[in-house]
Amino acid sequence: MPQTPNGILFLMTETRQVQRMPDASNAEMIYLKIPVGMLQCNCSIIGDPRTRECIVVDPGDEVERILSLIGRYGLTVKAIISTHAHIDHVGGLAKLYQYTGAPVMMHSDDLPLYRGMEVQAAFLGLPAPELVEVHQLLKEGDALQWGDFLANVMHTPGHTPGSVSLYLPTNGANATLTHPQLFAGDTLFAGSIGRTDLWGGSFDQIIASLKDKLMQLPESTIVHPGHGPSTTIGQERDSNPFLK
């Protein structure tokens, strides 16, 4: 969730203006962004148009919608990835795993947060979602491959201790992208950064993650945040008030 003067209420108002289902398929990459759940978490489906293999990032809710798009594009899910373990990003993990059998992945530093889901649910007045085994623990420097695509795992703590971002360079395993892509979870937003007043948050850590890691990426990198619209590293470097 982004840092804003009015907190969650601002977040919900703004994200409901985002286009609900911008099915974006091109010759380079199948990218489907689905804002799901009460807090409109951006669930991302990233697919290889040649092999039809894909990964799903942050399936927070509305798994039926996610599965419908996976079926529409004839995709096979190779991995289910959580950028962090807040309830709005992990609520659909168990159900998506039950339908696809794809391994669930997150950083080990967020396992306590994931296992304490009842506390998060009570905070929002929601029922606690079903939990599932985490099959692979992500760490800095891991490389995830599906089809011709490659994503580098960046540990970007601050919003939560185990927050990660996924960076797709222009040259993947065998795929070429016009612009690098960054799936930033709730670490970086268009014009804002992730909240640090929730469980395990640290303002100092998120600023270090942003300045020492994300802001070192090419300025043409397209950033896909966990909520709200996309942006670029160059735009955020120039205008994000938290990075001045």
Calpha distance 98→150 (Å, rounded): 25
Report pLDDT digits (tens) over 5-23. Answer: 222 222 332 333 323 333 4
Question: What pLDDT digit, counting tens, does each position of 114-131 carry?
Answer: 999 999 999 988 899 999
pTM over 0.75: yes
pLDDT of 9 reads 26
Band of the pLDDT at 3, cuts 50, 70, 90?
low
Q: Quick: pLDDT tens for 23-54.
A: 444 578 999 999 999 899 999 999 999 999 99
CB 187 within 8 A of CB 215: no
C-alpha pair distances (Å), 16 with each of 12, 42, 73, 84, 218 = 6, 11, 25, 22, 30
Domains of the chain: 7-243 (3.60.15.10)
Q: Which single residue is written with the structure tokens 């490389």?
A: 143
Structure tokens at 26: 């091109």
**Dihedral, 201, 204, 206, 209 alpha carbons, nearest 10:** -140
What's the CA gap between 208 and 159, in Å, rounded?
12
| Model pLDDT for residues 143-157, shown as the tens digit of each residue | 999 999 999 999 999
| pLDDT 10s digits, 185-228 | 999 999 999 999 998 999 999 999 999 999 999 999 999 999 99
């996924």: which residue's tokens? 166
